[in-house]
Amino acid sequence: MTLASTSSNSPSASRLAAPPQALTEIVQSVLDHLGQLPGALMPVLHALQNQLGHVPKEAVPLIAEGLNLSSAEVHGVVSYYHHFRSEPAAQTVVQICRAEACQAMGSEALWAHACSAHAKAAAQGQVGFEAVYCLGLCASSPAMAVNGRVYARLTPARLDQILEASK
């Protein structure tokens, strides 16, 4: 199965710039390894994000063509799951849990503090805040993860300390 630079099953595909050859080769390699699995879309998306740090918009029509799906289907999955990114991640990715147990313990105030106190760093791409819905630390909420490392029983001051130490 080979890939063209754009997908014929997407009405907007013809308006996309041709993806760089390197991206086309990476997508093709992932499809060669995983494309035959039942329900291959999720493993393909995970593999691409593991390699590239995100799933570039330009990869969507390539994946769609390789898996005989529409670009809308692939885009729908990428945009539905918070785990998948369409843009490169910030240097420090802070995932703050906003699910019920953490909300009950102040995660909304924590979120507001984080976005406000670290707005400059966020604007410069040094830190990015993402909402997640349960990190499995409900008994020690509120919780967050910083570049995959989890922290619990947070306060705004502790969040600031952790982010300062992660620079």
Q: Which residues bind ligand FES (CB under 6 A)?
A: 97, 99-102, 134-138, 141, 143
Query: Could you tell me the end-to-end alpha-carbon distance of the chain, in angstroms, rounded to an integer?
Result: 44
Query: What is the nearest approach in angstroms of ligand FES to the Cβ of residue 130?
Result: 13
Query: What is the nearest approach in angstroms of ligand FES to the Cβ of residue 71?
Result: 34
How far is CA 70 from each of CA 2, 13, 18, 55, 135, rounded to the nearest angstrom?
Answer: 16, 11, 18, 16, 32
Distance of CA 77 to the CA centre of its chain: 12
Rg (CA), the chain: 19
In this structure, are residues 130 and 93 in contact, taking their beta carbons and an 8 Å threshold? yes
Nearer to ligand FES, 61 or 111 (CB): 111
Query: What is the nearest approach in angstroms of ligand FES to the Cβ of residue 92?
Result: 20
Query: What is the nearest approach in angstroms of ligand FES to the Cβ of residue 136?
Result: 6
Nearer to ligand FES, 81 or 87 (CB): 81
If we measure between CA atoms, which residue out of 59, 61, 115 comes closest to residue 87?
Answer: 59
